[in-house]
Structure 1
Amino acid sequence: MIKHFDRSDRRILKFPAVNPCQGASPATLLVSLTILSRKILDFQSVCFATQKRNCRETIRQISLLHIFFEELCTSEPVLSDSVSLSFSELHLAYQKIWFLLADCSREGARLWMLTKCEFLATQFRVLIRAISTDLDVLPLSLIDVEDEVKEMVELVRRQSRKAKFELDASDRNAKKLVLSILDQFEKGIEPDSGEVKRVLDYLGIRSWTHCNMEIKFLEEEIAFEYSESDEREVPFLSSLVGFLTYCRGVIFEKSDNGNLDETQAEFTSNMEVFTCLNTEDFRCPISLEVMLDPVIVSTGQTYDRSSIQKWLEGGNMLCPKTGEKLMKTDLVPNLILRKLIRNFCAYNGVSLGWLGKQSRDITRTTVPDSQVASESMKFLSMYLTSRLAFGTSEQRNKAAYEIRLLAKSNIFNRSCLINAGAVPCLLNLLCFTGSCTQENAMAALLKLSKYGSGKRLIVEGRGLNSILAVLKHGLTWEARQSAAATIFYLSSVKEYRKLIGETPGAIQGLVDLMKEGTPCGKKNAVVAIFGLLLSPKNHHRVLEAGTVPLLVDILASSEKVELLSDTLAVISLLSENTEGAFAILSATSLSLITGILQSSTSQTAKEHCVATLLALCINGGAEVVGLLAKNQSLMASLFSLLTEGTSNAGKKSRALIKILQSFHETSSSGWILSSAVPCELAIYRR
């Protein structure tokens, strides 16, 4: 059997070619070689940004041999076993050549290929020499083909032996220019835009989209480096990301403006898809970490490649999740899941490089992996801030969009943008008449509000009223839900919770979004209310706004695990005082909460349910306890939490079990909560 590889099965610049089976006949090898050579010839119409001469010469020589293979297939001669050795070695070399050409022509990897130009030239030379050696042992005298064809094979053999396959001078000079630009960044010198454009033009990176593709590719490479615990290339990769990010914001400020609305529409559509996902499915069952390279084993289960490989190398031949015997050790890439995880991470601003290094110290996430990345980000932040302040309407929108992307990536980007003065400029754009600009500015502020000084600048710059105006009257749903999420982050500061709660219309704006917003908008509004409830003074305001009936409606209709858990968290907080408990009981939600406790698969949701039921018993009195005691299946759910839940869930379950058991031990008519019980249960309140 002969295996053919697809470029998505491997990491770039890795050539996992395999020798054909020893039992493969010459005829089988011939057919496979013909197919491989056709695939290589398909690169004739491909544009190579680098290694142009080497690629063309390699394809030319393969095209001559292709004639030889097709002639053999047509004439169907009897091939001796002595031909197998040469065909087998040629097959191996052909696989590697195909991988090499695929990498040299890969969209999004042009800058990386330029920096590896010496290595690539060497690979071309080695592989063509290998073909020459393979042809040396090919017994042409035993193969019945026309003399002209044999002469052509001899020609290829001689040319492949003499071919130099040296590094092209233009590639060498372009690489030197790239290294020079990186060196300038490292020294804190902003490079000449003309030199930067020369590099981009040489590589054919002529638009914002092309530049962004290069950045995404390099970020994936950084993730691979971290996942394989090999960080040698990380600083240089990070420098290239910094350089291209600078180019994306400065050099291509106008190139793709026409595509911003389209890209923004993609943001909005992705949002609805991602809110329906259960992100627990992204975690490897072995490591419990997000899978960077998910693969499927013979039992159909998916694991992260590095985790399952370590499992297999340890001599384990059972599926870790099902316990079934693994009939084969082949690992099949789960390409759909991998793409979904990466798109989800990109949308939510989670760095793949950060995910790849699970053991990375959190303090290092505040500092780039290279000085080049650090300095280029500072230059870019100043440039974008100046565009926000003094640019045209189009330039302001583009700058806000760029900041929105940059602020997702890491803490350092946020600090640079804040230090450059981006927050006041973005606040000024919230009243902008254009929906696209308002949406980008609000989303950018959301990301910056995650940073400590960002919160302070928003509040001290009197930005709260502007954000609340967007929450209530934003031009798009995404702008409104970004405003709600920003309020949540602002409410993480104790003083700001009180300030937001006292601001007229703030809580009502969140309640209105809960009532009429998108699923993502409802979720953001719910978590923002949760943040405000951490201040006891806001409890009455939240109840007065009619929040409880809406929360109960969400519980009754939502199938989304995360929204359900967030809603239960808010109800749990409200139930901790008498006013909130009676509002919840008045909404006839007791059976609904009990039902979720018994049916939900989410441990978090169950913990919130039992916390709510416990608080309702304390604040609602004997009547509530009596209703719960009638539910005979409730005890089973509570006992399961003792063993399966968190320690906090176990404490609350144990306390509720004591109350219910006490009720059963006495007559329902004469049963009262003893004074000792509330004192004991007060320990378990939030």
Structure 2
Amino acid sequence: MASEEEDGAFTVKSSDLKRSLRELAFRDDEAINPENLARARQMIAVLAEMELKNGADSTSGCTISFKVPDHFKCPLSNKLMRDPVILLSSGETYDRNSIEAWIRLGNVTSPLSLTRLSCFDLTPNALICNTITTWCENRGIKLLEGNLEEGDDGGVDFTLVEQLLDQVSSSSSPLLERKAAAKKLCILTKQHPSLRIPETAVPGLMTALYRAEHPGLRNDIISVVSESPSVINLLVDHVRLWKGNVQARANAAAALHALALVDSNKALIRECGGLVALISLLENGEELEMKEAASAVHSLCTLPSNKERAIGDGGVRVVMENIKEGVLVSEMVEILALFATDGGAVTRMNNLGAVHCLFKIIKEKPNPRCKEYCVAILSAISYSDRVSWKEVKRQERERQTISKLVLEGTPMAGCILAKLKRSGLGFF
């Protein structure tokens, strides 16, 4: 019996292939026909390949692996289809067990196109079924009668998925059980990229996400729901409308940060109002939710159009106010460094007294990374404003701040010091 691998390939033993060849050659119930001859030639060619690869004396115990063509695989399970059927509403072909399990979970959309299904009728795809049967027989691959081999679920155990979804969403389940269920779901979605959580289960998962106090549980739920088309809108609404408590909004912001790590999501989050909502959270939230919002804003603003939008929506002012109040200074400085590559943002920073604040951070913050960001911002804003440049000169003349940073190994400090020296030694 051929064995099916995790990637959908089949491994066939040479002894099984020879047995199939003998059975084909000594059939008494039918005459030799061109189809059987072609099948025999295919098997002999495979055996010859084994002999070349392993030597003539070793073919009895050797194996060969066959990669299943993509169009023979079920889009849901990523495994060879045993009983291919057409979903009439969409015209797509799936393995019967997989698509029936998908429908039983309450899904009303196509797994591939996500378009709403007008009906759930299935009909056998005889053409692809015959083609798969011929492909298997030519390679000595025998499948058990029926749709699936015993214990095989086509790659995804949808009953298990349903149970895990209930466990994660249940407020009465102990934390350890919810964590274990979320972890299993996370692993399943990674093992089977085509597996999508049904939209009917998303609201329950989102509720579980908002109340999750354990970071591991939160991150696993985020991973599970990340492929849902509705999840970004739900998260943005939770932040924008100030729903739930501080922990809930912090978790929603953390989820948006995780989603923003995928470049294709960055513009989508902005278009859904997520960037504006996160900046508002930076301005009016509490420290726990502000910290998550800061990470999300920083990730989103690596996209130039998002950065321009954040600056236009008052991002510089909000960040500078937090810096002056000593709130999450390191996180705010990282965002400010992103803004400093924009001319309009630099003007706003100068008007808000950024140079004085940055030198104060350099003096008080021992974090080398934070100092590097401060120097990078100083380099950007002091060159474009005479008043700011005078403040840099004064700091160097009175405290040798830039020279000390050079000695500490802060990279861009050397550039500022070189410009100071070129401008004349009078500043000392």
Scaled by the length of structure 1, the TM-score of the pair is 0.35
2:244 is aligned with 1:475? yes
> Where is the helix percentage greater, Structure 1 or Structure 2?
1
Give the one of 410, 416, 419 matched to 1:659. 419
Give the one of 180, 184, 203 matched to 1:428. 203
- How far the C-alpha of 1:616 sits from its partner, in A, is 0.9
2:211 is aligned with 1:439? yes
Q: Which amino acid aligns with 2:348?
A: A
Write the distance in 2 (CA, Å) between the matches of 1:402 and 1:492. Answer: 28
Q: Which amino acid aligns with 1:439?
A: R
2:388 is aligned with 1:631? no
Q: State the match for 2:22 in structure 1.
A: none
1:311-363 CA-to-partner distances (Å, cap 9, x unmatched) read xxxxxxxxxxxxxxxxxxxxxxxxxxxxxxxxxxxxxxxxxxxxxxxxxxxxx
Equivalent position SS for 2:247: helix
Write the distance in 2 (CA, Å) between the matches of 1:441 and 1:396. Answer: 15
- How far the C-alpha of 1:546 sits from its partner, in A, is 1.6
2:163 is aligned with 1:386? yes
Alignment of 1:503-582 (within 5 A): 503=272, 505-558=273-326, 563-582=328-347
Q: State the match for 1:493 in structure 2.
A: 262
- The answer to whether the 8 Å contact 1:414/1:448 transfers is yes
- The answer to whether the 8 Å contact 2:337/2:374 transfers is yes
Equivalent position SS for 2:379: helix
Write the distance in 1 (CA, Å) between the matches of 2:177 and 2:349. Answer: 42
Q: Which amino acid aligns with 1:526?
A: A
Write the distance in 2 (CA, Å) between the matches of 1:590 and 1:624. Answer: 6
Q: State the match for 1:592 in structure 2.
A: 357
Write the distance in 2 (CA, Å) between the matches of 1:587 and 1:501. Answer: 26
- The answer to whether the 8 Å contact 1:471/1:509 transfers is yes
1:247-270 CA-to-partner distances (Å, cap 9, x unmatched) read xxxxxxxxxxxxxxxxxxxxxxxx
- How far the C-alpha of 1:498 sits from its partner, in A, is 1.8
- The answer to whether the 8 Å contact 2:320/2:354 transfers is yes
Alignment of 1:194-593 (within 5 A): 383=160, 385-386=162-163, 388=165, 396-398=170-172, 405-406=179-180, 414-416=186-188, 419=192, 424=199, 427-429=202-204, 438-440=210-212, 446-448=218-220, 455=226, 457-458=227-228, 461-473=229-241, 474-503=243-272, 505-558=273-326, 563-593=328-358
- How far the C-alpha of 1:487 sits from its partner, in A, is 1.3
- How far the C-alpha of 1:381 sits from its partner, in A, is 10
Which ranges of structure 2 fall in alignment gaps of 5 or more residues?
A: 1-154
Q: Aligned in 2, Cα 1:401/1:416: closer, same or farther, shift over 3 Å?
A: farther
Q: Aligned in 2, Cα 1:658/1:449: closer, same or farther, shift over 3 Å?
A: farther
1:103-159 CA-to-partner distances (Å, cap 9, x unmatched) read xxxxxxxxxxxxxxxxxxxxxxxxxxxxxxxxxxxxxxxxxxxxxxxxxxxxxxxxx
Matched positions, count: 270
Q: Which amino acid aligns with 2:390?
A: G
- The answer to whether the 8 Å contact 1:533/1:539 transfers is yes
- The answer to whether the 8 Å contact 1:450/1:489 transfers is yes
Q: Aligned in 2, Cα 1:608/1:438: closer, same or farther, shift over 3 Å?
A: closer
Q: Which amino acid aligns with 2:357?
A: L
- How far the C-alpha of 1:454 sits from its partner, in A, is 6.1
- The answer to whether the 8 Å contact 2:253/2:293 transfers is yes
Equivalent position SS for 1:397: coil
Q: Aligned in 2, Cα 1:634/1:545: closer, same or farther, shift over 3 Å?
A: farther
Write the distance in 2 (CA, Å) between the matches of 1:428 and 1:496. Answer: 20
| Identity percentage of aligned residues | 16
- How far the C-alpha of 1:484 sits from its partner, in A, is 0.9
Alpha-carbon RMSD across the aligned residues, in angstroms, is 3.8
Write the distance in 1 (CA, Å) between the matches of 2:182 and 2:374. Answer: 33
Write the distance in 1 (CA, Å) between the matches of 2:185 and 2:398. Answer: 50
- The answer to whether the 8 Å contact 2:337/2:377 transfers is yes
- How far the C-alpha of 1:445 sits from its partner, in A, is 8.1
Write the distance in 2 (CA, Å) between the matches of 1:586 and 1:600. Answer: 23
Q: Aligned in 2, Cα 1:634/1:660: closer, same or farther, shift over 3 Å?
A: farther
Write the distance in 2 (CA, Å) between the matches of 1:523 and 1:441. Answer: 15
- How far the C-alpha of 1:551 sits from its partner, in A, is 1.3
Higher deviation after alignment, 621-630 or 518-527? 621-630
Q: State the match for 2:144 in structure 1.
A: none
1:205-232 CA-to-partner distances (Å, cap 9, x unmatched) read xxxxxxxxxxxxxxxxxxxxxxxxxxxx
1:369-410 CA-to-partner distances (Å, cap 9, x unmatched) read xxxxxxxxx999964743535x8xx9633469557634897x
Q: Aligned in 2, Cα 1:490/1:442: closer, same or farther, shift over 3 Å?
A: farther
- How far the C-alpha of 1:658 sits from its partner, in A, is 1.6
Q: Aligned in 2, Cα 1:491/1:387: closer, same or farther, shift over 3 Å?
A: closer
Write the distance in 2 (CA, Å) between the matches of 1:521 and 1:554. Answer: 14
- The answer to whether the 8 Å contact 2:257/2:295 transfers is yes
Q: Aligned in 2, Cα 1:633/1:462: closer, same or farther, shift over 3 Å?
A: farther
Write the distance in 2 (CA, Å) between the matches of 1:522 and 1:379. Answer: 39
Equivalent position SS for 1:632: helix
- How far the C-alpha of 1:481 sits from its partner, in A, is 0.9
Q: Which amino acid aligns with 2:318?
A: L
Q: Which of structures 1 and 2 has the larger relative contact order (alpha carbons within 8 angstroms, sep 6+)?
A: 2
Q: Aligned in 2, Cα 1:484/1:584: closer, same or farther, shift over 3 Å?
A: same
- How far the C-alpha of 1:567 sits from its partner, in A, is 0.9
- The answer to whether the 8 Å contact 2:340/2:380 transfers is yes
Q: Aligned in 2, Cα 1:401/1:621: closer, same or farther, shift over 3 Å?
A: same
Q: Aligned in 2, Cα 1:525/1:478: closer, same or farther, shift over 3 Å?
A: same
Write the distance in 1 (CA, Å) between the matches of 2:214 and 2:233. Answer: 13
Write the distance in 1 (CA, Å) between the matches of 2:374 and 2:308. Answer: 22
Equivalent position SS for 1:524: helix
1:562-590 CA-to-partner distances (Å, cap 9, x unmatched) read x3211100011101110111121222222
- How far the C-alpha of 1:437 sits from its partner, in A, is 7.2
Write the distance in 1 (CA, Å) between the matches of 2:369 and 2:186. Answer: 31
- How far the C-alpha of 1:534 sits from its partner, in A, is 0.2
Equivalent position SS for 2:396: coil
Write the distance in 2 (CA, Å) between the matches of 1:517 and 1:550. Answer: 12
Q: Aligned in 2, Cα 1:583/1:634: closer, same or farther, shift over 3 Å?
A: farther
Scaled by the length of structure 2, the TM-score of the pair is 0.54
Write the distance in 1 (CA, Å) between the matches of 2:416 and 2:222. Answer: 37
Q: Aligned in 2, Cα 1:483/1:445: closer, same or farther, shift over 3 Å?
A: farther
Equivalent position SS for 1:630: helix
Write the distance in 2 (CA, Å) between the matches of 1:521 and 1:637. Answer: 34
- How far the C-alpha of 1:480 sits from its partner, in A, is 0.8
- How far the C-alpha of 1:532 sits from its partner, in A, is 0.9
Q: 4+ residue runs of structure 1 moved beyond 6 angstroms?
A: 378-382, 441-445
Q: Aligned in 2, Cα 1:624/1:417: closer, same or farther, shift over 3 Å?
A: same
Q: Aligned in 2, Cα 1:407/1:574: closer, same or farther, shift over 3 Å?
A: farther
Q: Which amino acid aligns with 1:492?
A: L
- How far the C-alpha of 1:623 sits from its partner, in A, is 3.4
Write the distance in 1 (CA, Å) between the matches of 2:197 and 2:253. Answer: 20
Q: Aligned in 2, Cα 1:449/1:552: closer, same or farther, shift over 3 Å?
A: farther
